[in-house]
Chains A and B, each alone.
Chain A
Amino acid sequence: MDQPHAIISVRNLIKNYADFNAVKGISFDVYNHEIFGLLGPNGAGKTTTLEIIETLREKTSGEIYVDGLSVDKDANAIKRIIGVQLQAAGYYPNLNLVELLELFAGLYGVKVKPMEMLEKVNLQDKAKAKYKALSGGQKQRFSIATTLLNSPKIIFLDEPTTGLDPQARRNLWDLISEIRDQGTTIVLTTHYMDEAEQLCDRVAFVESGKIIALDSPDNLIDQLISSGFERKKEVKKANLEDVFINLTGQQWREG
């Protein structure tokens, strides 16, 4: 395999809060055009790491480059080439989706047609709806639409599928894969291992502010198996989620 081009490089990242050390010397690269997953329990430091790369949070020490730009010196230039979806972020009150996209277009200084953006995430029917009135999956798709306005090189998704039903999750996976296929690098966090296994090209396990493993899902699984691990229960060819999807149908049921 050729040495892939690293679009994000994080070296010895440390973040100390007053009373605890959230990130304790993390180093990793994110390659161009990949879907990179940060996995780990709550409080492991995933969101902190993400927000430092997004230039939303100050780091204590370490070096971070995003597409060759330093987070210390070129924060504004970085903001122009990334798209950010925050965990649980709200949107400006009393505005409909088209108006919100117009606002973000102005904030990014780009000219886009809001309806085209909504079509990308299949929300054209909700153009006049308020963000609050959307279902969980629709909210996440809209958030992703706002990250795409500036045609970013990288988008960051913080727990994009938390709280969604299986159909909405799978639907979002398809959307995320499509965005990657169009040439955008994606960094996401998740608690769901099935999601990481299906979606991510490479994953990093974060535990108590440290990376304890980093590789492709396949390699990680193979390593575990080669160490002699065996599941207690024999794996069947389908799981309960497959049953659920098979019974309730693939189509979206949101409203």
Chain B
Amino acid sequence: MNKPYNHTTATLALAKASFRSIMRSPSAVVFTLAFPLIFILVFGFLGGGGVKVDLAVAPGSDVQNPVMQALENTAVIRLIKDKNNDEIQNELEKGHYAGVINIQKSGIEKPEYLANVSYSAASIDKGNILKSVLNNLMYTLNSKDLKPAVAEIRESTVQGRTYRTIDFILPGQLGFSLLSTGVFGTAFVFFNLRQTLVIKRFFATPVRRSSIILGEGLARIGFALLGAVFIIVVGHFFFNFTLIHGVTTVLNMLILSIIGLVVFMGFGFVVSGIAKSESTIPPISNIITLPQFLLSGTFFSIDNFPSWLQPISKALPLTYLNDAMRLIAFEGAGLWDVRQQILIMLIWGIGIYALAVKVFKWE
């Protein structure tokens, strides 16, 4: 016993052990990486396409004409060719096709072509889109050589950064990943360490309680940051997730992740303290995570919620994490710009840790 006891060594030994353990725990990997990644993949591939309506081309229809060319160039319309009448009829009845078009030479000079269109009553809204697209298209074609009699539309689009689905979905998934890692991970680990007397055995060594909490926290933060980097990298390189200031943006997001995770771990400590058995951890944790999953703007903007629901949404900590993440990633805000969101998260943190100190059990 010549040299003094080093608490840092003990804390780091615990962090290392905990990190190894987390990396080998299937549930941690699934919650932190697989779930968010699956959502990002799904929405990444879904996003960007916009609305499409299917328009069948009747067999025997003339295809070498200006109308057809114009339809081919319309992004909203997907032309379905090479189907026979029965198949088309079948799909129309099911509402899979918005309509069918049959273009024939009229045999007279003007108009040169006749376009017969039948819409599907089984898909009114797609039919309406199709109707207006066709009207617009015909008007453009027919009035090509005419001077407008009343007024001419001059359209232009303001150039901006493309806001893709991924720009909305990824920060939400990142936030949710942090929430589940913080709540489920912390709750299970401390409950199990307590139940299996691992913590009691630790107490027979000179380690301090704060070292145990800190070591576990460091491991969890390390793991969650690894997950966050992975999610951001996949989002950025495969789905063009916007990172306005590149690496600086990523660093800001990671700092924000740490703040969020520390707050969410507080919930985990509370759950581990109040759970009576291992099987009560998932339901209690879900009571905390599911409402935030649905109401904190993970999938949909909370602006779309009914007005009575909005105050609830605006009370949840994940709402502010998601909000701040999006501002940082897409609008290039700095951490100081999102101080209000951070402040609200910190207030949650103070409240939840005050509760955790009361209900947390070591033995």
Q: Residues of A at under 8 Å CB distance from B?
A: 54-56, 76, 79-82, 84, 86, 88-95, 99-100, 102-109, 146, 150
Q: Residues of B at under 8 Å CB distance from A?
A: 1, 3, 5-6, 9-10, 12-14, 16-18, 20-21, 24-25, 192-193, 196-198, 200-207
Query: Are A56 and B200 touching (Cβ within 8 A)?
Result: yes
A sample of 10 cross-chain residue pairs with beta-carbon separation below 8 angstroms, ordered by A number, consists of A89-B201, A90-B197, A92-B193, A95-B21, A102-B13, A103-B14, A103-B17, A107-B13, A108-B205, A109-B6
In the assembled complex, which residues on chain B have CB atoms less than 8 Å from the CB atom of A56? 200, 203-204
Given A56-B200, A90-B196, A93-B192, A107 and B10 touching (CB < 8 A)? yes
Query: Are B198 and A94 touching (Cβ within 8 A)?
Result: no
Q: How far is the CA of A76 from the CA of B17 in the complex (A)?
A: 23
In the assembled complex, which residues on chain A have CB atoms less than 8 Å from the CB atom of B203? 56
In the assembled complex, which residues on chain B have CB atoms less than 8 Å from the CB atom of A109? 3, 5-6, 9-10, 206
Given A86-B200, A90-B198, A76 and B13 touching (CB < 8 A)? no
Query: Are A80 and B204 touching (Cβ within 8 A)?
Result: no
Q: How far is the CA of A137 from the CA of B14 in the complex (A)?
A: 27
A124 to chain B, nearest CB (A): 21
In the assembled complex, which residues on chain B have CB atoms less than 8 Å from the CB atom of A76? 5, 206
A7 to chain B, nearest CB (A): 15
Among A55, A90, A93, A106, which residue has its beta carbon within 8 angstroms of that of B12? A106
In the assembled complex, which residues on chain A have CB atoms less than 8 Å from the CB atom of B204? 54-56, 79, 82, 84, 86
Question: Residue on A with the closest CB to B197?
Answer: A89
Would you call the interface of chain B mostly helix, strand, loop, or mixed? helix
Query: Are A93 and B197 touching (Cβ within 8 A)?
Result: no
Question: Residue on B with the closest CB to A88?
Answer: B197
Query: Are A94 and B206 touching (Cβ within 8 A)?
Result: no
Query: Are B20 and A94 touching (Cβ within 8 A)?
Result: yes
In the assembled complex, which residues on chain A have CB atoms less than 8 Å from the CB atom of B1? 80-81
In the assembled complex, which residues on chain A have CB atoms less than 8 Å from the CB atom of B25? 93-94
Given A54-B204, A56-B204, A94-B25, A80 and B14 touching (CB < 8 A)? no
Query: Are B205 and A79 touching (Cβ within 8 A)?
Result: yes
A180 to chain B, nearest CB (A): 20
B27 to chain A, nearest CB (A): 11
Query: Are A92 and B21 touching (Cβ within 8 A)?
Result: yes
Q: How far is the CA of A30 from the CA of B204 in the complex (A)?
A: 19
Question: Residue on B with the closest CB to A146?
Answer: B201
Query: Are A79 and B201 touching (Cβ within 8 A)?
Result: no
**Apart from A89-B200, A103-B17, A107-B206, what are 6 other A-B pairs with CB-CB below 8 Å?**
A76-B5, A88-B197, A93-B196, A102-B16, A103-B13, A104-B205
B13 to chain A, nearest CB (A): 2
A151 to chain B, nearest CB (A): 9
Question: Residue on A with the closest CB to B212?
Answer: A107
In the assembled complex, which residues on chain A have CB atoms less than 8 Å from the CB atom of B207? 107
Among A79, A86, A95, which residue has its beta carbon within 8 angstroms of that of B17? A95
A129 to chain B, nearest CB (A): 14
Query: Are A108 and B206 touching (Cβ within 8 A)?
Result: yes
Q: How far is the CA of A91 from the CA of B195 in the complex (A)?
A: 11
Q: How far is the CA of A80 from the CA of B202 in the complex (A)?
A: 12
Question: Residue on A with the closest CB to B196?
Answer: A90
5 nearest CB pairs, A to B: A106-B13, A90-B196, A84-B204, A94-B21, A107-B205
Q: How far is the CA of A80 from the CA of B238 in the complex (A)?
A: 53
Q: How far is the CA of A44 from the CA of B135 in the complex (A)?
A: 94
Q: How far is the CA of A82 from the CA of B203 in the complex (A)?
A: 12
Residue in B10, B203, B205 whose Cβ sees the most chain A Cβ within 10 Å: B205
Query: Are A99 and B205 touching (Cβ within 8 A)?
Result: no
Q: How far is the CA of A100 from the CA of B20 in the complex (A)?
A: 11
B11 to chain A, nearest CB (A): 8
Question: Residue on B with the closest CB to A83?
Answer: B204
Question: Residue on B with the closest CB to A87?
Answer: B197
Residue in A84, A88, A108 whose Cβ sees the most chain B Cβ within 10 Å: A108
A196 to chain B, nearest CB (A): 24
B219 to chain A, nearest CB (A): 11
In the assembled complex, which residues on chain A have CB atoms less than 8 Å from the CB atom of B193? 92
In the assembled complex, which residues on chain A have CB atoms less than 8 Å from the CB atom of B14? 103, 106-107
Among A79, A91, A92, A100, which residue has its beta carbon within 8 angstroms of that of B206? A79
A242 to chain B, nearest CB (A): 36
Residue in A88, A103, A104, A106 whose Cβ sees the most chain B Cβ within 10 Å: A106
Query: Are B206 and A99 touching (Cβ within 8 A)?
Result: no
In the assembled complex, which residues on chain B have CB atoms less than 8 Å from the CB atom of A108? 205-206
